[in-house]
Amino acid sequence: MSVVNNAFQRYQAERPRIEKAAQLTAALLRRRMARERITCEVTYRAKEIGSFITKAYKKPYADPWNEITDKAGVRIIVQHKGLLDKALQVVQTHLTPAGAVQDYRDEDDVKGKYTLQYPRLHAQVLAAGDLTDGDGNPYECEIQIRTEATDLWARMSHRLLYKAGATDVPPDVSRSLYRLIALVELYDLEVERGVDVLAQHPDFTLSNRLLAEAEFLYRTFTDHEYRRDLSEDIIDVLLETIEHETDYPNKLAQFAEEHRLDLEAAYRDYGPTSEHFLTHGRYILASQPESLIIFERLSTAKMLLRGIWDDQLSETMLNDMAEIWSVHL
Amino acid sequence: MSSEFAQLVVDEAIFHLVPQRRKSAPVPAELQLSEAVCQLTDDVRTKIQANFRKVLTSYGREVVEETDVKKSTLPDCVHEYLTKERELVEVSEDIAQLLWDSQKASSPAGLLLVAAASLAGQRALLIVKLEQEGGLRAQDVVVDGRRTFDMRYFADLLMTEHNKVYKAALFSADGITEEGHIEGWAADKQLGGRMAQFWLQAFLGCRQRNDPKLLTQAFHEAAGEWIDQRVSDPEKSLRYLMALLVELRSNTPTLDPTAFARRHLDLRDQDDFLTHLASKNARTTVFDKDVARVATRLNDLKLGFESGIFIVAPVKRVDEDVEIDDHPDGTSTVTVKGKITSTRSHYSARKQDPASAGDQTPEPDSDA
C-alpha cells in the first residue's frame, strides 16, 4: 500500500476526531477573542477527504500524514487590519505553538518590489482539548487570521486561481485578480479609520458601544445569532439606568465572570437553544446579548430598571428575566 | 447571584391528585396517587423551575421544624428523602397522604407536586400544592376553505402566568441541622401572602424561623434610619416618613418592602432604600406584619430642628395641618395650622439644654 493510500485510510478513520479538535479550538478562540473584545468570526473545518487526497498526490510528500498540517483548520476573520496582531496575540497566548507563524503581510516591502500578494497570516498550534491521534500525539490545527476583505479576496482567488489546477490562468486574468488586493488594502484601511472615528463619537456610539460590550461578553456563552432590532430597542432603555455608572463596561465584565456558572445555566435552560425560545418564543431576552446587562441591573439596580422599563417596554419580558434570575420585582 | 433560589434546579417530579373532602358526598372522595414520576420535557421542567424560583424569592419565608409540639410527620419524610433513605415516588405518596389528612372540608381540590431538585448543588425536595384553573385557547384553523379560530375551554390548567394560588415549600440537605431537624422555606401566594396555618403547621410541621414582630421592628427601624440619614430634602423626608407610618398602621396582614419602595419612594431612591434594608438585615421581600413592638411609635411624627426645636404631630393630622417649605440656604419653614389650646414647659431627658438644665422641673416626656 502506498504512503498516500496509508495516509488516506488513516485520515478517513480519524477525520471525525480531527473535526472535533478543530471545533474545540474554534470554541476556545471564540471565547478568548470575545473576552479581549476583538470583533471577529471564528469558523472551523476538517479538511475534506477529497482535498486531502488531492494535496497528498499533488505535492511530493514523503509522509503525507505528518506533512499535511492543515488537516484541522480554524479561520479567524477580523473586522479590519488593526485587529490582526491582537488576534494573533490571543492565539499565541492561549494555544501551544506547533510551528513558526507564517506572516507574509509585509513581504512586499521587504523585497522592495511592491508586488501584490495574499497577506498570509497563519499560525500552527496544538488543538484545544485533549484529543490525540492514533499515535497518541495531540492533533495540530492551522489557524488562519484574515480581515473580512482579505477573506473575500482569498475565497475568490482560491476558486479561480488555485483550484484551476492544471489549467494555466491567462496572465492578464491573473494580474487583474491580483491587483484587487490593492482594493482590499484600501478597504481595510477605510474600515479601520471608520471604526476609530466612531469610537470617538459619543452620541452615536453610546448605545452601540454598550451593546458591543455586552455582545463580546455574551459571545463567551453562546454563538447564536440574535435580533439586532430588538437589541437596539432594549439598549436605549438600559442606557438610562446606567447613566450615572462610572466604568460600566468593566463592571459588566466583572459581573459576567463572577456569575459565569449561573449565567451558563440560565442560557442553557432559557436561552437560544432552549425549547422555551425555539418552540414557544418565550424568555426571548435570554437569547439576546443585552440579557447580560439586564441580569446585572436586576442584581444591582432592579427598581431603577423596572421604573424606567415599565414606561417603555413590555412588562412580561422583564418579568421573565426576573424569574430566571430569581429577583423579586 | 441575587438569591440562592436562582440555583434551584428541578430534576424530576411526581403529581398526586388531592380531591376536596365533602361530607355530603354519597361516595367519599379518595386520594389518587401516581405510581411513577412524570415524563417532563425540558421546557416543562425548566418552566416549573422558573415558576418556583420566583414564588420562593418573592413569598418564601424561612421555616424550621416545629419540635416542641410535633404536628406532622412531613419533616421525617423530607429528612428520609434528603438523606437518601427513601426515593421520590415512595416519599411523595406519604406526603400526599399527609396533605389529604391535614386539609379541611373547605380546602379546594388540587394537585400535589413533589419534585426532586437541587439547590446550589445540594439535594433538595420541592413540595407544591397547585390548584387547577380555567382558561381559553384560540387556534387558527381553516373551515370550509376559510380561515378562522377554534376556541376551546380548558378547566385543568396549571401554573398559568398570573396564577394567584400557590403553596410551596423547599427543603435542601444543607438545611438539616446537627440535631437532625429540617430547615427550609415555605411560601403561600394566597391570603395576601400570609402563610395559611394548615399549610405551615398541620401539613409542613414547621414554624417560621423569624418572629413577625421582630421582622416588623427591623423594617421600621431600618426604614426610619434610611429616611433620617439618607434623605436630605425635609419635604421629601416628611413624605417618606408619613408613607412608612401609614404602611405600618394599615390593616394589611403582610408587608412587601419592595412594593412599598415602588409605591412611595422616588425612582432613584428605591434601590438605595432596599440596599440599606438589606445591610441592616431587614427583609426586602414579603413578610408577615406584626406591629406589636412598634405600635406606640406609629402614632406621632416628630420633626427636629438644628436649633433644638422639635414638633410632635399626630400622623393622621400631618397631611392636613403641617406644611414644609424648603429654602435654598438649607433651612425650612414649617407651618402648623390650627387652634392653640395649651402651652406648657417640657422636659426631655435626651436633649437637655445645658444652660438651663438646673432650672427645669422634671416632667414625663410626652414624646417618649
Task: Quick: pLDDT tens for A154-178.
Answer: 888 877 776 555 567 788 888 888 8
User: Is A328 in contact with B46 (Cβ distance < 8 A)?
Assistant: no
Give tens-digit pLDDT for B214-254.
999 999 999 999 998 999 888 888 889 989 998 998 888 89
B215 Cβ partners below 8 Å, 6+ apart? B282, B283, B287, B288, B290
The predicted structure's pLDDT at residue B355: 47
Position A113 confidence tier, pLDDT thresholds 50, 70, 90: low
Select the residue from A282, A304, A315, A323 to test the B interface by mutation, using most B Cβ atoms within 10 A: A323
Judged by a CB distance cut-off of 8 A, whether residue B268 touches chain A is: yes
pLDDT at site B352: 47
What CA–CA distance (Å, rounded) separates A31 from A23?
A: 12
The answer to whether the Cβ–Cβ distance between A303 and B53 falls below 8 Å is no
Residues contacting residue B330 through CB under 8 Å, at least 6 positions apart = none
Stretches in chain B below the pLDDT threshold 70? 1-3, 25, 163-165, 191-193, 346-368
In this complex, do B7 and A262 lie within 8 Å of one another by their Cβ atoms?
Answer: yes
List, in order, residues 6 or more apart from A321 with CB less than 8 Å away: A283, A285, A286, A291, A294, A295, A298
CA-based nearest distance A251→chain B, Å:
15
Which residues of chain A neighbour B50 with C-beta distances below 8 Å?
Answer: 269-270, 323-324
The answer to whether B54 faces chain A, any CB pair under 8 Å, is yes
Chain B residues in contact with A269 (beta carbon < 8 A)? 42, 46, 49-50
Strands (E), B198-242: 206-208
User: What domains can you pick out in chain A, each with its CATH number?
Assistant: 3-192 (3.30.460.10), 202-325 (no CATH)
Per-residue pLDDT at A308: 93
The CA distance from B340 to B194, in Å, is 44
B271 touches chain A (CB under 8 A): yes
The per-residue pLDDT for A86 is 93
Calculate ∠ Cα A16-A17-A20, nearest 5°.
Answer: 90
CA-based nearest residue to A204, from A232, A166, A168: A232
pLDDT at A268: 93
In angstroms, rounded to a whole number, what is the distance separating the alpha carbons of residues A144 and A84?
A: 10
Confidence at residue B165, expressed as pLDDT on a 0 to 100 scale: 62
Dihedral sign of CA atoms A98, A100, A105, A108 in order: negative
Check the CA dihedral A70-A75-A81-A86 and report its sign: negative
Neighbouring C-beta atoms of residue A250, cutoff 10 Å: 11
How many CB pairs lie under 8 A apart between chains A and B?
A: 81
- Res A1: pLDDT: 54
Residues of B in contact with A327 (CB under 8 A): 2-3, 57
Q: Are A265 and B268 an interchain contact pair (Cβ–Cβ within 8 Å)?
A: no
Neighbours of B144 (CB within 10 A): 5
Residue B170's beta-bridge partner residues?
A: B126, B185
Q: Which residue has the higher pLDDT, B156 or A29?
A: A29
Domain ranges of chain B: 4-209, 210-368
Residue A328 has pLDDT above 60, yes or no: yes
pLDDT at site A210: 86
Contact assignment for B47 to A304 by CB distance below 8 Å:
no
At residue A64, does pLDDT exceed 70? yes
More confident residue, B60 or A2: B60
Record: contact B50-A325, CB cut-off 8 A: no
A154, with CB counted inside 10 A (0-12, 13-18, 19+), is buried
What does the buried/exposed string (b/e) look like for B109-129 if buried means 16 or more CB atoms within 10 Å of the residue's CB?
ebbbbbbbbebeeebbbbbbb
Are B267 and A303 in contact (CB < 8 Å)? yes
Which three cell numbers mark A252? 459588566
| Residue % of chain A over a pLDDT of 70 | 93
Q: What is the mean pLDDT of residues A195-201?
A: 76
Q: Among B1, B8, B271, whose Cβ lies nearest the Cβ of A302?
A: B271
Residues 6+ apart with CB under 8 A from B226: B272, B273, B276, B277
Nearest C-alpha of chain B: how many angstroms from A31?
A: 22
Confidence of residue A303 (pLDDT cuts 50, 70, 90): very high
Residue A23: Cβ within 10 Å count: 18
What's the pLDDT at B365?
39
